[in-house]
Homo-oligomer: A and B are copies of this chain.
């Protein structure tokens, strides 16, 4: 299942400075693509945000280390195995893959970034990956984003990606992003795997700030099942091949359009993940206004986004809004229930802590039957606001997760 039509990745443009290749190296059982190699122009700037889970996969630890170098030469991503909870051997395997990529492409080990996604706690078949690398190098080519997106997918039902075109100082700049994720999705810093490639010429520290800002209103605003992965990674690579002068300050006015496009692309990718949430049949938008501050608004929105009872009510097209206000109530944010209003789509359902006089069950039902449901909550207690995205909780979710490994 997935909510709405999936994106068309066949038309995503090439981005100057990036080539990719994808193959089946033997991790996934069904012959599907499971390994992505991306080669980048020399001096490509890199930024990254990673899971806040205290248990982190070996490749995340490696990426955090390499990020200090501020430059990337290659990205290698395998799917089907997360290389998480794999002990010291997991890190040796990651280092072995990074070394093999570095040798093959003649770049420093510290310029190689790795991700793994899939089953936790199985030993990574590092040799299978290394054996596939020469073939991948020979196949490197620009613009092959659809295969790249397929190669990083696990329980995803469609490949996810998008593009933006902006100008910096009159020079055309392109951004292309790919992402994967369908389960174990609940943001904490970054969630899932996402990679954005651009030819903009931006210094690494400015790039990091721009990525963190975009991440805060995109990947960190989604929940599928409330579980934060051990492997969440979002990286931004900038080859610097666009024809504009270097941007060193994230607040440089010349970067404003880029920042906006980056945020917009990150939101699109994040929403694709929710639309393809495991078992999802409905896409939920939770808008909170009138909170004491933005952080409080997000906390309330995520509380509703995570509620199993709200999510099952959406699955059943049941306008059981008492569950919504209950989830608002236990979010831990101070507010006045009597000042709160809640809209389900365009229907006012709650005012002054009780059912709105104008509300009828039919109005609520009409909204809940839709594939895309908007829940707007005004707490009447300040200027804080947030928007987050979630999906419903269905039988299909249980089927997928009660039987994932077998």
Contact = CB atoms under 8 A, between A and B. Distances in A.
A195 to B, nearest CB: 22
Contacts of A90: 354
Interface string A313-328: 1011010111101111
Interface string A47-90: 00000111110000000000000000000000000101111111
- The SS class assigned to the A binding surface is loop
Contacts of A87: 352-355
A397 B394 CA distance: 10
A380 interface: no
Contacts of A398: 312, 315, 393-395, 397-398
Interface stretch (A31-39, A162-170, A303-311): A303-311
Interface string A328-362: 11100111010000000000001011110000000
Given A82-B322, A326-B55, A329-B53, A121 B406 contact: no
Contact of A88 (B328, B334, B354, B404): B354
Q: Which of A312, A326, A335, A337 has the most CB of B within 10 A?
A: A326
A229 interface: yes
A227 B326 contact: yes
B405 A330 contact: no
3 residue pairs, one from A and one from B, having the closest CB atoms: A120-B322, A87-B354, A316-B402
